[in-house]
Structure 1
Amino acid sequence: MQPATNPVPHQGRQFLSDNAAPVHPKVWDAMRAADAQDAPYDGDAVSARLDAHVTALFGRECAVLWVATGTAANCLALATMCPPYGGVVCHREAHIEADEGGAPGFYLHGAKLLLADGPSAKLTPDTVRVVIDPIRDDVHQVQPHAISVTQVSEYGCAYKPDEIAALRRLAHERDLGFHVDGARFGNAVAYLGCSPAEAIGGADALSFGFVKNGGMNAEAIVFFDTARNPDAAREARYRRKRAGHLQSKGRFLAAQIEAMLTDDLWLENARAANHAAASLAGAEDRLMHPIEANEVFLRCTAAERELLRAQGFGFYDWGADAARFVMSWDASPDAATALGEAVSRL
Structure 2
Amino acid sequence: MGVPMLFLSDNAASVHPAVWDALQSADAPDSPYDGDAASAALDERFSDLFERPCAVLWVATGTAANCLALASMVQPHGAVVCHEEAHIEMDEGGAPGFYLHGAKLILAQGEGAKLSPDAIRAAIDPIRDDVHQVQPHAVSITQASEYGCCYRPEEIAAIASLARQRGLALHVDGARFANAVAFLGCTPGDAVGPADALSFGFIKNGGMSAEAIVFFDPALADVARYRRKRAGHLQSKGRFLAAQLHAMIEDDVWLDNARHANAAAQEIARACGERLMHPVEANELFVRCTAAERDTLRARGFGFYDWGADAARFVTAWNTRDEDARALAQAVAAL
TM over 0.5: yes
How many percent of aligned residue pairs carry the same amino acid?
Answer: 70
1:303 matched to 2:292: yes
Counterpart amino acid of residue 276 in structure 2: L
Q: Kindly provide the CA deviation profile for residues 109-134 of structure 1, in whole angstroms up to 9, marking residues without a partner as x.
A: 00000000000100000000001111
Which contiguous aligned blocks of 4+ residues in structure 1 show a shift greater than 6 angstroms?
Answer: none
Aligned pair partner of 1:276 in 264, 277, 281: 264
RMSD of aligned Cα (Å): 0.9
Q: 1:75 — aligned with what?
A: 67
Q: Secondary structure, in 3 states, of the residue corresponding to 2:34?
A: coil
The answer as to whether partners of 2:182 and 2:258 remain within 8 angstroms in 1 is yes
The answer as to whether partners of 1:82 and 1:88 remain within 8 angstroms in 2 is yes
The answer as to whether partners of 1:206 and 1:223 remain within 8 angstroms in 2 is yes
Q: 1:345 — aligned with what?
A: 334
Q: Kindly provide the CA deviation profile for residues 22-78 of structure 1, in whole angstroms up to 9, marking residues without a partner as x.
A: 000000000000000000000001001110110000011000000000000000000
1:101 matched to 2:83: no
Aligned pair partner of 1:319 in 308, 312, 323: 308
1:253 matched to 2:241: yes
1:205 matched to 2:197: yes
Q: If the length of structure 1 is used for normalisation, what is the TM-score?
A: 0.95
Structure 1: state its 5+ residue gaps: 1-8
Q: If the length of structure 2 is used for normalisation, what is the TM-score?
A: 0.99
Q: Secondary structure, in 3 states, of the residue corresponding to 1:113?
A: strand
The answer as to whether partners of 1:164 and 1:201 remain within 8 angstroms in 2 is yes
Q: Kindly provide the CA deviation profile for residues 144-179 of structure 1, in whole angstroms up to 9, marking residues without a partner as x.
A: 000000000000100011111111111111110000
1:45 matched to 2:45: no
1:263 matched to 2:251: yes
The answer as to whether partners of 1:277 and 1:327 remain within 8 angstroms in 2 is yes
How many angstroms does 1:224 deviate by? Answer: 0.5
The answer as to whether partners of 2:4 and 2:303 remain within 8 angstroms in 1 is no
Q: Secondary structure, in 3 states, of the residue corresponding to 1:281?
A: helix
Counterpart amino acid of residue 101 in structure 1: G
Taking the TM superposition and a 5 Å limit, the aligned residue runs for 1:16-55 are: 16-55=8-47
Q: Secondary structure, in 3 states, of the residue corresponding to 2:302?
A: coil
Counterpart amino acid of residue 135 in structure 2: Q
CA distance in 2, matches of 1:340, 1:252: 38
The answer as to whether partners of 1:12 and 1:332 remain within 8 angstroms in 2 is no
Taking the TM superposition and a 5 Å limit, the aligned residue runs for 1:97-176 are: 97-176=89-168
CA distance in 2, matches of 1:46, 1:10: 41
Q: 1:285 — aligned with what?
A: 274
The answer as to whether partners of 1:81 and 1:146 remain within 8 angstroms in 2 is yes
How many angstroms does 1:316 deviate by? Answer: 0.2
1:180 matched to 2:172: yes
CA distance in 1, matches of 2:62, 2:248: 16
The answer as to whether partners of 1:89 and 1:114 remain within 8 angstroms in 2 is yes
How many angstroms does 1:281 deviate by? Answer: 2.1
Aligned residues: 334
Q: 1:224 — aligned with what?
A: 216
CA distance in 2, matches of 1:246, 1:137: 37
Structure 2: state its 5+ residue gaps: none
CA distance in 1, matches of 2:11, 2:169: 29
Counterpart amino acid of residue 304 in structure 1: E
